[in-house]
Amino acid sequence: MRTIRTVRQLIAWRSALQRERVTIALVPTMGALHDGHRTLIRAARLACDAVVVSIFVNPTQFGPGEDLDRYPRPFRRDAAMCRAEGVDVIFAPPREEMYHADHRTLVIVAGVSRRWEGEARPGHFEGVATVVTKLLSLVQPDQTFFGQKDYQQSVVVRRLASDLNLPGRIIVCPTVREPDGLALSSRNVYLTPEDRKAASILYQALKAGEAAVRRGTGDAHTIRRVMQGTLKRERRVRIDYLAVCDPESLEPVARIERRVALLGAIRLSGIRLIDNLLVGV
Amino acid sequence: MRTIRTVRQLIAWRSALQRERVTIALVPTMGALHDGHRTLIRAARLACDAVVVSIFVNPTQFGPGEDLDRYPRPFRRDAAMCRAEGVDVIFAPPREEMYHADHRTLVIVAGVSRRWEGEARPGHFEGVATVVTKLLSLVQPDQTFFGQKDYQQSVVVRRLASDLNLPGRIIVCPTVREPDGLALSSRNVYLTPEDRKAASILYQALKAGEAAVRRGTGDAHTIRRVMQGTLKRERRVRIDYLAVCDPESLEPVARIERRVALLGAIRLSGIRLIDNLLVGV
């Protein structure tokens, strides 16, 4: 396994593979890899000849006052996981390699990035869209792997890749969870033991919403009340948003007539957690 | 020569060439080809194995009230020039092939796109940046050719390609002019005979500015007054802007200490003309 830190070397590596008609899978990450990333890497490994995992804590997707500085960066542990999973290249550029001092370009995906995380984190999806455009242009992967846990991000990235004709297919892999249902996230390490215990309530709320949909509850407002009811059992929880929305447009729906996305975002002692479920009817 | 109208076919053509290690040059145009385009095509032809000319009147770079609807579209004449110049593929997609109904993505190049044409034509460079990102992602050219006549556009595109790591090199070719100095432009056909006669004053003004720089005039304000003085000889002319600016940042300079870009935009009976000269000291 090789670690590449410059754009120039990455392009050289990618071009050499392309000349040999080797297919390339990309798994874009911010590092602090967990079993969710492991699932993406394994899917990538199965799908393509070569796998590149990018590890880049992208500054442009963090808002002021967010956790850019304290975001975990356990590079050696990440590299060990990548090596164990048969990754070919880790692309871990320093910040100035991705954003020169004179960088001025921003990619905006309107529509699907407006609500939910877009509202809670202004500028976040512009940062995501910009760095994903850069990574896809650099790697020119045949397939790129994202986790469903950041559901809105996956919708934004699909829209982006389609709108800008970026190379390759976007693959979204199912969320990986702790035994109690908490979605794996690099930010879970921020949780105090008490908050960690309380955190699985978000998944329970989504499951309660799913059960209500399956029971035939057609009214989205009622579904949200069901989810809210579950969350209220944990006094430590502050609700950021609970949404019943169209899985493609991410617009809220009033009546549940086809598949919906249930989205939730909560805070525990200031730490934000998000999760989602797709529910067919 | 082949005309390709769909994204899918273009990708298939490009992929097949890449597998054979054929280098590709892209000349992005809005059609209504003139000798300026011919120069770009010839440069492209010399630089790469295969040449694709895109012909697409990009709606997103036109503002409300601009000439999108009446922009000339002499496709058969354009195809004849391309054939005569040894172009391999014309990529002439219909609008809905480039912009699906659910297209929502916009590329913004801040900084260099703010002033001059950016101010005169709000949204113009966002449209340019978006379509260029799409074309470069689709064609994955080794080299892409633009004319210096749209100087600010060439600066925006260079910045864009560098910032988003878009494939290939950006090549800017010198402006081609009529015998009287008027820069070739597809929009020159809009000019009445009187305005056409008056139009070369813009080039004369830029040349007067250049001569003043060469005489050692170090004050940008004086240079602008010299250019203005020339333009005032034509009573039909309305000045949009005259700029003495840094050729990379496009910010106005006060003192001329190194190479500068002289930019000018005028109106003749409502028709906008732009031109520029790069002047070394």
pLDDT at A55: 98
Closest alpha carbon within chain A to B114: A104
* Rounded-to-integer distance, Cα B16 and Cα B199, Å: 46
pLDDT at B281: 84
User: Do A159 and B109 make contact, defined as CB atoms within 8 angstroms?
Assistant: no
Closest alpha carbon within chain B to A111: B104
Closest alpha carbon within chain B to A98: B163
Contact A145, A45 (CB under 8 A): no
Question: What is the percent of chain A where pLDDT is above 90?
Answer: 99
Instruction: Kindly state the average pLDDT of the residues A23-42.
Output: 98
The 8 Å CB, 24+ separation contacts for B209-215 are: B209/B242, B209/B244, B209/B262, B209/B277, B209/B279, B210/B262, B210/B277, B210/B279, B213/B256, B213/B260, B213/B262, B213/B279, B213/B281, B214/B279, B214/B281
**Overall pTM > 0.90:** yes
Q: Using alpha carbons, list the distances in angstroms from residue B232 to A54, A235, B182, B201, B204.
A: 58, 75, 17, 9, 11
Please count the CA atoms within 13 angstroms of the CA of A179 that sit on its side-chain side: 1
User: Do A108 and B111 make contact, defined as CB atoms within 8 angstroms?
Assistant: no
What is the rounded radius of gyration, in angstroms, for the C-alpha atoms of chain A? Answer: 19
The residue with tokens 């969350």 is A231
* Partners of residue B272 on adjacent β-strands: B267
- What is the 8-class DSSP label of residue A63? P
User: Do B7 and A134 make contact, defined as CB atoms within 8 angstroms?
Assistant: no
B138: nearest CB among A7, A100, A165: A165
User: What domains appear along chain B, each with residue ranges and CATH number?
Assistant: 2-173 (3.40.50.620), 186-276 (3.30.1300.10)
Phi-psi region of A269 (alpha: psi -120 to 50; beta: other; left: phi over 0): left
User: Do B21 and A21 make contact, defined as CB atoms within 8 angstroms?
Assistant: no
Number of Cβ atoms within 10 Å of the Cβ of B116: 24
* Rounded-to-integer distance, Cα B220 and Cα B204, Å: 17
Instruction: Kindly state the average pLDDT of the residues A206-224.
Output: 97
pLDDT, one tens digit per residue, over A150-193 is 999 999 999 999 999 999 999 999 999 999 999 999 999 999 99
pLDDT at A230: 98
Question: What is the percent of chain A where pLDDT is above 70?
Answer: 100
Residues of A with CB under 8 A from a CB of B: 7, 18-19, 21, 100, 102-112, 129-130, 133-134, 137-138, 140, 159-160, 162-167
pLDDT at B43: 98
Nearest Cα neighbor of A269 from A241, A226, A234 is A234
- Burial class from Cβ neighbours inside 10 Å (0-12, 13-18, 19+) for residue A120 reads middle
For residue A281, pLDDT beyond 90: no
- Burial class from Cβ neighbours inside 10 Å (0-12, 13-18, 19+) for residue B1 reads middle
User: Do A133 and B138 make contact, defined as CB atoms within 8 angstroms?
Assistant: no
Residue B193: partners with Cβ closer than 8 Å, 6 or more residues away: none
Question: SS3 helix, strand, coil % of chain A, rounded to 5?
Answer: 40, 25, 35
A165: nearest CB among B102, B104, B134: B134
* Partners of residue B172 on adjacent β-strands: B146
pLDDT, one tens digit per residue, over A129-150 is 999 999 999 999 999 999 999 9
Indicate the Cα dihedral angle B60, B62, B67, B73, nearest 10°: -40
Q: What is the DSSP string of A28-39?
A: EE-S---HHHHH
Closest alpha carbon within chain A to B113: A104
Question: SS3 helix, strand, coil % of chain B, rounded to 5?
Answer: 40, 25, 35
- Structure-token pair, residue B75: 């496709």
* Most A CBs within 10 Å, among B15, B21, B105, to test the A interface: B105
User: Do B108 and A108 make contact, defined as CB atoms within 8 angstroms?
Assistant: yes
Nearest Cα neighbor of A114 from A251, A255, A267, A241 is A251
Let me know the angle formed at the C-alpha of B36 by B34 and B38, rounded to the nearest 5 degrees. 75
pLDDT tens for chain B, 281 residues long, are 999 999 999 999 999 999 999 999 999 999 999 999 999 999 999 999 999 999 999 999 999 999 999 999 999 999 999 999 999 999 999 999 999 999 999 999 999 999 999 999 999 999 999 999 999 999 999 999 999 999 999 999 999 999 999 999 999 999 999 999 999 999 999 999 999 999 999 999 999 999 999 999 999 999 999 999 999 999 999 999 999 999 999 999 999 999 999 999 999 999 999 999 999 98
Q: Which residues of A touch B251 (CB under 8 A)?
A: none
Alpha helices in chain B (DSSP H): 7-19, 35-47, 75-84, 95-98, 117-120, 124-139, 151-163, 193-199, 201-214, 220-231
